[in-house]
């Protein structure tokens, strides 16, 4: 939207269109949605199929709210959630997320830290699907769609990366087995990578795909702890036995130096690609 078009808007609409207002109002609505989704997740824990269906419906409703805000309040095309290319970008993000977690687990296997003792029935793949859907949709809408974009609009892309990464890491301190070390690791490895993925495409689908697949493979396949939160056992009967620097301790693999190195390196590579494409924005006073 141009400065001229903004000048012709009523004061109340211009106030609603300000990035900080987006954080306060839209962010709060989506955060409430996420808390509501978590309550449904807890209530229907023993019915994985229904729980997953509920999370899909709530996720689509949250996306609709986000799009409605963009079109009705901000009067813009919500390109970060446009559907052309959705499947391709989501699949790419999911492939990267699943690949990075699998690579981390394989390295720990080779080091003798992650030990597979057998397989559970394939039905063990189902319970953690709803959790992966919820975290992938809601957290990306809030932290990349609202917080990153709003901070970037005011202070530039570098500030957007810093603020959204810090908030994303610190929110995980609310989990039962959370540690400050784990929160800091997530700030660095996941905050950077997910921000860079958004910058590369300027869309949220790749971020959602990565987030869902990482959490799903971590819990449903490799039976790991997700960011200090309790999760059901997955397909692999496995144990982690070794120094906390490698295992991540009670927080899970995300506090492992192996995941930190792999994800941060990937994040830097993706960020450099976004910079080469000219996708980073300066602060609003330099535009």
Cut 0.75: pTM above it: yes
Work out the angle at residue 21's Cα, subtended by the Cα atoms of residues 16 and 22, and round it to the nearest 5 degrees.
Answer: 95
Residue with tokens 């800091």: 184
CA–CA separation, 257 vs 189, rounded Å?
Answer: 10
Average pLDDT over residues 244-272: 95
Closest of 126, 226, 106 to residue 172, by C-alpha: 226
Token representation of residue 253: 């693999």
Would you state the pLDDT for residue 250?
86
Name, in order, each residue with C-beta under 8 angstroms of 153's C-beta and a sequence gap of 6 or more: 19, 281, 284
- Please write the tens of the pLDDT for every residue from 32-81: 999 999 999 999 999 999 999 999 999 999 999 999 999 999 999 999 99
Asked if 37 and 145 touch (Cβ cutoff 8 Å), the reply is no
CA–CA separation, 214 vs 267, rounded Å?
Answer: 14
In the structure, what pLDDT confidence band is assigned to residue 147 with cuts at 50, 70 and 90?
very high
In the structure, what pLDDT confidence band is assigned to residue 2 with cuts at 50, 70 and 90?
very low
* More confident site: 268 or 250: 268
Would you state the pLDDT for residue 3?
45
Phi and psi of 238, rounded to 5°? -140, 160
Residue with tokens 């987030």: 211
CA–CA separation, 193 vs 191, rounded Å?
Answer: 6
Would you state the pLDDT for residue 148?
98
Give the H/E segment covering residue 35: helix 27-43
**pLDDT(145) > 60:** yes
Closest of 262, 256, 202 to residue 224, by C-alpha: 256
Would you state the pLDDT for residue 17?
81
Instruction: Report the mean per-residue pLDDT for the chain.
Output: 93
**pLDDT(1) > 70:** no
SS3 content of the chain, % helix, strand, coil (to 5): 75, 5, 20
Phi and psi of 256, rounded to 5°? -85, 140
- Please write the tens of the pLDDT for every residue from 107-134: 999 999 999 999 999 999 999 999 999 9
Would you state the pLDDT for residue 271?
98
Token representation of residue 229: 């939160």
**pLDDT(178) > 90:** no
Would you state the pLDDT for residue 6?
54
Would you state the pLDDT for residue 4?
41
Would you state the pLDDT for residue 15?
83
Would you state the pLDDT for residue 232?
83
Would you state the pLDDT for residue 268?
98
Would you state the pLDDT for residue 100?
97
Least confident of 151-155, 171-175, 194-198, 260-264: 171-175
């Amino acid at each position: 939207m141009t400065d001229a078009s903004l000048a012709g808007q009523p004061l109340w609409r211009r106030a609603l269109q300000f990035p900080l207002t987006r954080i306060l109002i839209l962010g709060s609505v989506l955060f409430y949605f996420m808390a509501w989704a978590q309550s449904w997740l807890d209530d229907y824990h023993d019915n994985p199929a229904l729980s997953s269906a509920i999370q899909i419906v709530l996720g689509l409703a949250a996306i609709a709210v986000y799009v409605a805000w963009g079109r009705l309040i901000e009067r813009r095309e919500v390109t970060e959630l446009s559907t052309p290319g959705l499947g391709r970008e989501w699949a790419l993000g999911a492939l990267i997320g699943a690949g990075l977690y699998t690579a981390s687990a394989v390295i720990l296997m080779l080091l003798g830290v992650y030990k597979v003792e057998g397989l559970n029935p394939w039905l063990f793949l189902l319970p953690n699907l709803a959790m992966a859907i919820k975290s992938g949709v809601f957290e990306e809408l809030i932290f990349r769609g609202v917080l990153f974009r709003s901070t970037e609009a005011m202070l530039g892309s570098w500030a957007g990366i810093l603020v959204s990464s810090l908030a994303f890491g610190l929110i995980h301190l609310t989990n039962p087995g959370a540690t400050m070390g784990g929160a800091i690791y997530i700030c660095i490895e996941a905050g950077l990578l997910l921000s860079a993925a958004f910058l590369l495409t300027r869309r949220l689908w790749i971020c959602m795909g990565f987030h869902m697949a990482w959490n799903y493979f971590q819990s449903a396949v490799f039976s790991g702890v997700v960011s200090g939160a309790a999760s059901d056992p997955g397909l692999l009967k496995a144990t982690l036995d070794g120094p906390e620097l490698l295992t991540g301790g009670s927080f899970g693999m995300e506090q492992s130096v192996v995941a930190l190195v792999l994800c941060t390196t990937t994040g830097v590579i993706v960020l450099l690609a976004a910079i080469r494409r000219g996708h980073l924005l300066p602060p609003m006073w330099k535009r």
